[in-house]
Amino acid sequence: MKVQTENQTLIQKDKEHLWHSMSRFNANASPMIASQGEGSWFKDMEGNKYLDGVSGLWCLNLGHGRKEIAQAAYDQMVNISYFPLTLSHVPAIELSAKLSSLLKASYTSYFSNSGSEANEVAFKIARQYQVQNGNPGKYKFISRYRAYHGSTMGALSATAQANRKDKYGPSAPGFLHVPPPYSYRSTFESDLAAAEYIREVITWEGPDTVAGVILEPFISGGGVLIPSKEYLTRVAEICKENDVLLIVDEVVSGFGRTGEMFGFMHSEGVQPDIVTMAKGLTSGYFPLGATAVQSYIYEKFKEEGDKQHFRHVSTFGGHPAACAVALKNIEIIEEEKIVERVSQLGSTILSELRDLESLNCVGEVRGIGFLFGIELVADKQTKEPAADELLGKIIAVCKEKGLIIGRNGDTIPGYQNVLILAPPLSSTEEDLRFLVDTVKTVIEEHDLKQL
């Protein structure tokens, strides 16, 4: 009785004082309040247990309760609790060197607190670099429709999902969008034609006006779009030919999510000029963003002069505890061979999920590593997207059965029709069995029902 009253009080306080991300206020529904987590599972205040099939917001890559990570934060906090990166500290030094070695070229990292910030920093560095490299007119960025690059004004301007931007306009000037490779619905004949379209936009905008192209190797929140590996290779060539910086957003795809340490590593000959990271960098145990730039970019910021250096500061960016957590997180990923595991198990899961394509309501199943999208349709012939209610119902029934799954973000009305699975990379085979069986059963049941 006492516990129930305490829960009610918490719910009441939540409803009055806590503003939730991306959630419509619902006076009649209670928020799901987490009380305890272990591995890929968590319990809510009522004691219901759930498998987190989306790793929180695609970040809890090593699952809950890793004591070594907590210990790394504790040890750091009782030693040097805070220190700014206007000066320096050991965990940031070690982490920047580690990222450079993981990226397999010489990179210098600027640390911030989130994926949005990491992208903001990338845009500012890219513009300043172009100016200091003798190309002051190169200020535009190209990103793809359906992409999400963050919620702050610059990152939101690069984001090309109309619903997300509604009521926050106008966007920052200088951000252009092109269609992504998306073989299921594309107007392009091939993924390479989608890459060539970027060349065309650069040509017609004027190569001397374009600073960079930003893209995720695999659009994640926008509906899990998996292009052929040659797409990114071709985009990288086009960027190089036009002196345009290739900025790869690895906020979701970094640190093993796709079965490579970084998503761009699936494509031959790609070495991005700038790589942005967050989420899996700390497996969500601490906020941290990183913007890694190749050394020839950093060189331009070392030159003599009043305003040649990067004039950007982040009080908490690269917090010593966050960097210590990231280092321990990476150590575990390497020791437990998480990347190899995700690559192997991911292909098996994908082929099992592909059985769903025989159903009327499933248009296409896509995936790579531990990132899966199941595109639901109302009509297989016309590919008309499935009704919102069908996705809502499937997500709700999975939840009743103890599984949390997601769907693609606010792209445009009617096109939030992709169910998304992105379980923790450390999920046990038993966890993954539960995930696949539950999703398949629930979708099969709803195919028969046809709402």
- Is 161 near ligand PLP (CB under 6 A)? no
Query: Quick one: which of 337, 333, 372, 331 has its CA closest to 351?
Result: 372
Residue from 39, 115, 227, 318 binding ligand PLP (CB under 6 A): 115
Between CA 187 and CA 351 the distance in angstroms is: 27
Touching ligand PLP, residues 328-367 (CB under 6 A): none
Q: Among residues 57 and 176, whose Cβ is nearest to ligand PLP?
A: 57
Pairing state between β 34-38 and 362-368: unpaired
Query: CB under 6 A: which stretch of 67-75, 115-123, 138-146, 198-206 binds ligand PLP?
Result: 115-123
CA distance 122 to 73: 27
- Nearest-angstrom CA–CA distance, 198 and 233: 13
8 Å CB contact between 339 and 261:
yes
**How far apart are CB 365 and ligand PLP at their closest, in Å?**
21
- Asked whether position 377 contacts ligand PLP by CB under 6 A, the answer is no
Select 119 or 417, whichever has its Cβ closest to ligand PLP. 119
CA distances from 286 to 69, 156, 201, 316, 366 (A): 10, 23, 39, 11, 30
Hey, which residues between 240 and 259 contact ligand PLP (CB under 6 A)?
249, 251-252
Q: Applying CB under 6 A, which part among 98-106, 146-154, 237-245, 353-361 lies near ligand PLP?
A: 146-154
One character per residue 212-241, x = contact with ligand PLP (rule: CB under 6 A): ----x---xx--------------------
Residue range at the interface with ligand PLP (CB under 6 A); choices 111-119, 229-237, 329-337, 384-392: 111-119
Site string for ligand PLP, 277-306 (x = CB under 6 A): -x----------------------------
Window contacting ligand PLP (CB under 6 A); options: 109-117, 181-189, 259-267, 348-356: 109-117
* Residue of 127, 138, 149, 234 interacting with ligand PLP (CB under 6 A): 149
Closer residue to ligand PLP, CB minimum distance, 85 or 278? 278
Tokens of 357: 């394509």
Six-digit token string for 120: 């903001």
14-22 contacts, C-beta under 8 A, 24 or more apart: 22/409
The alpha-carbon radius of gyration of the chain (Å, integer) is 22
Give the shortest CB-49-to-ligand PLP separation in angstroms.
Answer: 26
Residues facing 289 on adjacent strands: 112
3-state secondary structure of 337: coil
Which of 319, 330, 217, 213 lies closest to 264 in space, CA to CA? Answer: 217
Contact (CB, 8 A) for 122 and 216: no
Instruction: Report d(CA 251, CA 77) in Å as an integer.
Output: 25
Helix-, strand-, coil-residue percentages of the chain, each rounded to 5:
40, 20, 40
**Is there binding between residue 148 and ligand PLP (CB under 6 A)?**
yes
**Residues 114, 128, 143, 233: which binds ligand PLP (CB under 6 A)?**
114
116 binds ligand PLP (CB under 6 A): yes
In angstroms, give the least distance from the CB of 363 to ligand PLP: 23
Does residue 146 bind ligand PLP (CB under 6 A)?
no
Helix (H) or strand (E) holding 400: helix 388-400
Query: Which residues lie closer than 8 Å to 105 by C-beta, 6 or more apart?
Result: 271, 294
Residue nearest to ligand PLP (CB): 115
Q: Which residues are near ligand PLP by CB under 6 A?
A: 57, 114-116, 119, 148-150, 216, 220-221, 249, 251-252, 278
